Structure 1
Amino acid sequence: MKNTLLFLALAFHAQAFDITVADKDHVAVANGDKVVAKLMMANDLSTPEKHHDTYKPYLHVFDASGATRLTKGPGFAYTHHRGIFLGFSKIAYGGKSYDRWHMKGGDQVVTKVTPGDNAFTAHIDWQGDTTAPFLTEERRFTFTTPAKPFYLGIEMNSAIKTVSGEADISGDPEHAGAQFRPSELVDTQSTTYIFPGEKIDAHKVKDLPWAAEVFTIEGKTFTVVILNHPDNPKDTATSAYRDYGRFGMFPKGKATAEAPFKLRYQWLIAEGDVRDAAVFQQAWNTFAGKSDPTPAITINASERKAAKPKK
C-alpha cells in the first residue's frame, strides 16, 4: 500500500557487514562491532523543529573505529547539507517546479527498507504539494571493504520514477546531485581537492570519472573519492571546491513511470591524506570495468566562502 510504513526491525548478517534496521529511525551498517555508516530516515512531524531535522534521508559515515562521525547532520551552516545525500533544486513536473534540495514544500520520506547481502534498499517517496508523492525512488546502498588505503566502499544505485507523466530533473552544480558533506567540525583551512587531468577547473569541466577530497576533522585527516560510473548521464558537472567540503556530481535528465532516472556512484573512504592518482584510477577502472591509464592530476586548495547561519 502506498504511504504505508513497512519497516523491518531486524539485524541482517551478510558476510562482512551487519545491517540493522531500526523501525522508523535509521539503518546501521556495522563492520564487526564498529558502526561505519548509518542511514538517518526518521520523518518526525510532531514539531516544526523535528520536521526540519528529518525532512530528508541521508547517510552518515564514520571512521574505521566507529568513534568519529565524518559527516554532517541538520543544523549549522547550510542545514540542508547532510551526510551522503541526493536532491535536485529544479524538478519540472505537471506544470510546476519543485525544490527537493532545500526541501521547500515537501519531504523525501522512506516508506520501506529492504535488507540484502552487504546492502539495503530504501524506498523513498518524493512528496509533491501534499504528502502524496510525485516521484518514487529505490535507493540501494552496497557496502564493501576495498583495497587499501581505503577502509570502506559505499555504492549508491538510485532509480527515480514518476507516478505518471514525465519529470525534468535538474538544478545546478551547487544545488543538485549526489553529494558528500563532511562534518560541521571540518577544518575549512585545509580542505583540498584532487582531479584527474592537468589544470582542471571544476567550475567548467564535465564528465570527470572521479574526484577526491582531503579533509580534517577533530585533528584527524581523511580522504574520500567519488567514482562516477560511465552509465550515468553525460554532461555531468563536478562540484568540488568549497572549503566546508560539500562535493559531488550533478547530473540531470528525465524520468517517467516506465523509464526511471538512474544514477550510480561509489564513495571510497580512507584514513589519512591520499593523493595517489594510480590508486584513484585503479578504483575507478574496477568500478567502471575499464582499463584506462593513470592520468596526471590537479590538486586545488579549496575556495573560501562565508558560511550562512542556520535558518
Structure 2
Amino acid sequence: MMNRLACWMMGLALVGGQGLEAAPPIQIRLDVRAGKHDRKQTPLVASVALPISRIAASEVVLTDARGKRLPAQLTAPSLLDSKNRHAELHWILPGLKANSSTHFTAEIRARSQADRKVRGGFSWRDAPGRHTDVMHGDRPVVRYMYKAYENDPAKRDLDNKPFHHVFDPAGTRLLTKGTGGLYTHHQGLFYGFTRCTFPGGKCNTWYCHEGEHELHREVLAEEAGTVLARHRTAIDWNDLKGKPFCREHRELAVFAVGGGTLIEWSSRLWSVRGTVTLDGDAQHAGFQFRADDEVAKRQSEKLVYYLRPDGKGEPGATRNPVKGKGPEDPANKPMVNMPWNVMSFVLGPQRYSAVYIDSPRNPKPSFASERAYGRFGGWFGKRTLVEGKQPIDLVYRVWVQRGEMTAADANRLSADVSDPPRVAVSNVKPAGKKPAKKKRAGKNSPLRQVADDPTLPRVLLIGDSISIGYTLPLRAALKGQANVHRPSANCGPTTRGISQLDKWLGSGAWDVIHFNWGLHDLKYLGTDGKSLADPKSPGSRQQVPIQQYEKNLRQLVARLKQTGATLVWRSTTPVPEGAKGRVVGDAVKYNAVATRVMKDNGIVTDDMYAFAKARLKEIQRPANVHFTRDGSRALAGHAAGIIRKTIDPRTGLRTTISEVIRLLERKDHAAVLKRVVPPEQLKQILKRQTFEQLVEGFSTTKAARLLAVLRSIKDVGPKLDSTGRVATFTLVEPVGGKKAIVLKKIGRFWFISN
C-alpha cells in the first residue's frame, strides 16, 4: 500500500518496551447489565489493565456464568477512544433479556511465540496498490479500495476517494457500487462534502470532478482475531492542486456475529490549512451507503423500500429533508436525528436489507436522506474546522443481511449503540494464601528492566553471568546510542535457552541481539545432575555434551533469525587453570562448533574469547571463569565497539538524522533518497520518473534545504506520539510551507514521513 510520505521530500518539492519477563496473569470479572433492551449478539468491550505493548504477547480466556468458554480478543483502543492507554477486551454477548444481568470471567496471560498466530476468525488479504479484504475464513466480508488517484481528466472519476465495499453475508458477491454507473462518485461506504472552503480556495469532495480528491496515505493499524477485524487508515483531503486542506484517520471494524454483517465505521477529520468550512445538504454530504448499480438500473421495478422508526414506506418512494429548511420545520422533522433507517433492495433474485445506525456521539442535528436508486445516509449540517482545534469525530454502524427486516430488529441494533449494555470490571482475587512476592532486582542491578527511549535502537543481551557482569558498564558505554536490555535471569545453558527464549524475546522488535551460550553447557555436574562436580570424579558429566550443544545452538539460531534483528554471536570466554567443574580448553572446542553454526547462518562473531585471552591475567579472577569489576568493564568496552558497528543507523531517530546529514554533506544524494524514502513509496515515485531524474531534481535546491533543516533539529527534542514511533520536530521557520518535519518508524527503520 501507498505510504503516508506526502512526503517531507515532496513538501520540500523533492519532485518526487516492553519488559522481557512475562507478567503474571490478570484475572477479572465482567458484570454485564442489559438495561431496558433485549440483547442479541451484542458486541461488548471493556478496558483492561493491560498495557498496549503487551497485547501481542498475551491471550485471553473468557468464560460465561456457566463456565462455557467464549471467543474473546484483545485490541488496542479504537480510534475515538485513542486517549486510553490500555488494551480493550472484546467479546460478543450471545443474548440477555431486558433488565437482567450476567457475568463473565477473563484470564489474560502470556502466551508463547508459537501461539501468537490467529487461529480461525478474521484475517486481512491485500492486493497491493488496489484493495485489501477482510476475510472470515475463506469468505470475503469487506473490501477497502485505496488505489492511488491519477490527476488525468479522463480518469478523475475512477479513484477519487478511498471507500469500503461490502460483500453479501455469504461472500458470494459485492452489495455495494464501485466507480462507474449512475453517479460514479457514489462508491460503497463513502464520506464527503459538496462545499469545502479554506484559505486560498474551495473544492468539492463529494463529486471530485475537477481534480480535488481524497487520497489514501497509509494503513496505521490492522487487527484481526476471533471477535473482530479492524483497521485504521490515514487519508488526505486534497484541493484542486493536490495539496491537503484536511486530514482524516478512518477506522472500520467488522464483528463476528451470525445472520448478517455488522460494521462499525468511524472517522476523525481535522484541518491542516487554517479555518476550513464543510457544507452541503442531506443528499450531497456526510457518510453514505450506495448499493450496487443494479439497483439503479431496476428503479422502474420499484423494488426498493425504506423502513423507518415511524413505519414502512411505499415501494419506490423516498422521503428527504427540504433544502433551506431547518430541523424544526414540520416538513423536515421526520428525517431529523433518526436513530436508524433501513433500505431494502434486490440484487438478482435476492432481497437484502441494510440498516444505517446513527450514534448519539455524532454531531447534531442530523438529516437523513434516501434515494430510490439505492443510496441512503446522513449529514449533520455545516461544520467549521480550525487548524489545531477540535476535529470532527463520527461513528456509525451498518448492518446488512439477506431478506427483510423488522422494526424490532432495527431498534435492537440501534439500542446497542445509543444505550449499550453496562459493563463493570473488577479484579478477581485468587483463593488461598497470597502468593509470595517476587523479589525485585535492585535499583542498580543489571537484571533490572530498563525503560526504552523510543528514539534509540533496541539491543538485547542474552548470556550467562559473564554477560550479567558487563551489562551495566555496557549500558553506560552505549548511553544515548542504544537501549540495552537483558533477561532478568542468568540465561544458563542452551537447554534453558530452548525453554525460555520466547519469553526473553517478548513481543517487542529488536535491532541487535548479542548472544552467547557455552560456559554452562561445558561445565560438569555430579550424579544428582545439579551440583558442580570435578570432571575427573566418577559419574560426573558435562551438562550439555558438545554434539547436543551444536543441535541446540542451531535450533536457537533459527528462532533468533525469525526476529529480523541483526545477530551477533559472542564467543565463550576462556576457562582458566583451577576453575571448578570445567576443563581448560573446552571453551575452544565449543567455540569451534559455534563458529561452524554461525558461519552456516551468516552471523557475525564478537570474538570475546580472543579479546579476553590476550589479557586474561589482568582482567579474570584467579582459578575462576568470572572477571574482576575492571575486567567486566573491559569486556563491556570491547562489546560496545562491536555493537556500535553493527547497529544500522536507520534504527535510531538520532542516528538516522546524523547519517542523513553526513550523506548530504558528502553530496551522496542517491544514498539520501534511499535512506529517507520508504521502499514502497520510492517504487510509486519511480513509476513516474527514473531514479536519475529524481536525484537530479532533488540535488538542485532541495538537498541544501533539507540539510539546513536537519542541522537545525539535530540537537532538538522531538514531540513523540503515544507509540513512540512518530516524532515531530517544530521548525523555527516554515520550510516549503511546512511548520514541522515528521519522522516515522516503519518496521525497524525511521523515514521522513510528511
Q: Match of 1:55?
A: 160
Cα contact 1:109–1:125 (8 A) shared by 2: yes
Show CA shifts across 1:154-197 (max 9, x none): 11110001114222211011111111111111142210001112
Q: Tell me the distance in 2 between the aligned counterparts of 1:220 and 1:184.
A: 15
Identity across the alignment (%): 28
* Structure 2: distance between partners of 1:246 and 1:197: 20
Q: Is 1:64 the counterpart of 2:169 in the alignment?
A: yes
Give the Cα–Cα distance (whole angstroms) in 1 for the partners of residues 267 and 126 of structure 2.
19
Amino acid of the structure 2 residue aligned with 1:177: G
Structure-2 separation of matches of 1:133 and 1:125: 6
Deviation at 1:198, TM superposition (A): 5.6
Letter in 2 for 1:135: C
Point out the more displaced range, 170-179 or 195-204: 195-204
Evaluate the alpha carbon distance shift between residue 49 and residue 37 of structure 1 in structure 2; reply closer, same or farther with a 3 A threshold: farther
Give matches, 1:258-297, under 5 Å.
258-274=389-405, 276-290=406-420
| Residue 135 of structure 1, aligned match among 246, 258, 271 | 246
Alpha-carbon distance between aligned partners in 2 of 1:176 and 1:73, rounded to the nearest angstrom: 18
Q: Is the 8 A contact 2:177 2:292 kept in 1?
A: yes
Q: Deviations over 1:196-248 (max 9, x none)?
A: 126995422211111010000111110000110001111110002x2111100
Structure with the higher strand share, 1 or 2: 1
User: Residue in 2 aligned with 1:301?
Assistant: none
Secondary structure at the aligned position of 2:132 is classed as strand
Partners of 2:118 and 2:242 in 1: CA distance: 34
Q: How far did 1:17 drift?
A: 1.8
Inter-partner Cα distance in structure 2 for 1:78 and 1:3: 29
Structure 1 equivalent of residue 283 of structure 2: 174
Matches within 5 A, 1:176-255: 176-186=285-295, 187-188=298-299, 189-197=302-310, 201-203=319-321, 204=332, 205-240=335-370, 242-252=371-381, 253-255=383-385
Distance in 2 of aligned mates of 1:92 and 1:50: 24
Q: Deviations over 1:97-116 (max 9, x none)?
A: 32100013311000001312
Displacement of 1:52 in angstroms is 2.5
Q: Is the CA contact (8 Å cut-off) linking 2:211 and 2:242 kept in structure 1?
A: no
Secondary structure in structure 2 of the residue aligned to 1:281: helix
Matched AA of 1:251: F
Aligned residue in 1 for 2:178: 73
Report deviation, 1:90.
Answer: 1.1
Distance 1:98 1:44, change over 3 A: closer
The answer on whether the counterparts of 2:247 and 2:270 sit within 8 Å (CA) in structure 1 is yes
Distance change (3 Å), C-alpha of 1:232 and 1:44: closer
Query: Helix, strand or coil for the counterpart of 1:100?
Result: coil
CA contact (8 A) 1:90 1:170 kept: yes
Deviation at 1:22, TM superposition (A): 3.4
2:214 is matched with which residue? 108
Q: Please give the residue correspondences for 1:21-36 in structure 2 after superposition, counting only pairs within 5 Å.
A: 21-36=126-141
Q: How many angstroms apart in 2 are the aligned matches of 1:44 and 1:209? A: 35
Alpha-carbon distance in structure 1 between the residues aligned to 2:272 and 2:119: 33
1:9-48, Cα deviation, whole Å (9 max, x unpaired): xxx9586321223332212111110112101110242854
Measure the CA separation in 1 of the matches of 2:345 and 2:249: 30
Cα distance between partner residues in 2 of 1:226 and 1:212: 6
CA contact (8 A) 2:149 2:215 kept: no
Q: Residue 254 of structure 2 aligns to which amino acid in structure 1?
A: F
- Structure 1 segments of 4+ aligned residues over 6 angstroms from their partners: none
1:262 is paired with a residue of what secondary structure? strand
Return 5+ residue gaps in structure 2 as ranges. Answer: 9-116, 314-318, 322-331, 422-754
Cα RMSD, aligned residues only = 2.3
User: What is the total number of aligned residue pairs between the two structures?
Assistant: 281
d(CA) in 1 for partners of 2:366, 2:178: 26
Pick one of 131, 134, 147 that aligns with 1:42. Answer: 147
Structure 2: distance between partners of 1:218 and 1:237: 31
Moved more, 38-47 or 122-131: 38-47
Q: SS of 1:185's equivalent?
A: helix
Q: Are the equivalent residues in 1 in contact too, given 2:122–2:137 (CA < 8 A)?
A: yes
Contact 2:156 2:211 in 1 (8 A): no
1:42-76 deviation line (CA, Å, top 9, x unaligned):
02428544442111111111112222211111111
**Compared CA separation, residues 56 and 272, structure 1 to 2 (3 A):** same
**TM-score of the superposed pair, with normalisation by structure 1:** 0.84
Q: Say which SS state the counterpart of residue 249 (structure 2) adopts.
A: strand
Q: Given the superposition, is the C-alpha separation of residues 192 and 137 from structure 1 closer, same or farther in structure 2, using an over 3 Å criterion?
A: same
Q: d(CA) in 1 for partners of 2:148 and 2:289?
A: 21
Asked if the contact 2:306–2:312 (Cα under 8 Å) also holds between the matched residues in 1, the reply is no
- Give, in whole Å, the separation in 1 of the partners of 2:237 and 2:203: 10
The amino acid that maps onto 2:214 is Q
Stretch of structure 1 that moved more, 230-239 or 87-96: 87-96
Residues in 2 aligned to 1:155 and 1:210: alpha-carbon distance in whole angstroms = 14
Worse-matched range after superposition: 213-222 or 252-261: 252-261
Task: Give, in whole Å, the separation in 2 of the partners of 1:45 and 1:210.
Answer: 36
Q: 1:116 to 1:198 in 2, by over 3 A?
A: same
* Counterpart Cα distance in 1 of 2:166 and 2:154: 24
TM-score of the aligned structures, taking structure 2 as reference length: 0.36
3-state DSSP class of the match of 1:53?
coil
Letter in 1 for 2:372: D
Residue 157 of structure 2 aligns to a residue whose secondary structure is helix
Alpha-carbon distance change, 78 to 285 in structure 1, aligned in 2, over 3 angstroms: same
- How has the CA–CA distance of structure 1 residues 259 and 62 changed in structure 2, closer, same or farther, with 3 Å as cutoff? same
Q: Supply the AA of the counterpart residue of 1:43.
A: A
Alignment match, 2:263: 154
Call closer, same or farther: CA 1:199–1:271 in 2, change over 3 Å. Answer: closer
CA shift in 2, pair 1:271/1:198, >3 Å: closer
Q: Could you give the per-residue CA deviations for residues 253-305 of structure 1, whole angstroms, max 9, x where no partner exists?
A: 2223331111111100111111x1111111111122258xxxxxxxxxxxxxx
Alpha-carbon contact 1:58-1:85 (below 8 Å) kept = yes
Which structure's CA Rg is the greater one?
2
Which whole-Å CA distance do the structure 1 matches of 2:345 and 2:311 have between them? Answer: 22
- Structure-to-structure mapping, 1:93-104, within 5 angstroms: 93-94=198-199, 96-103=201-208, 104=210
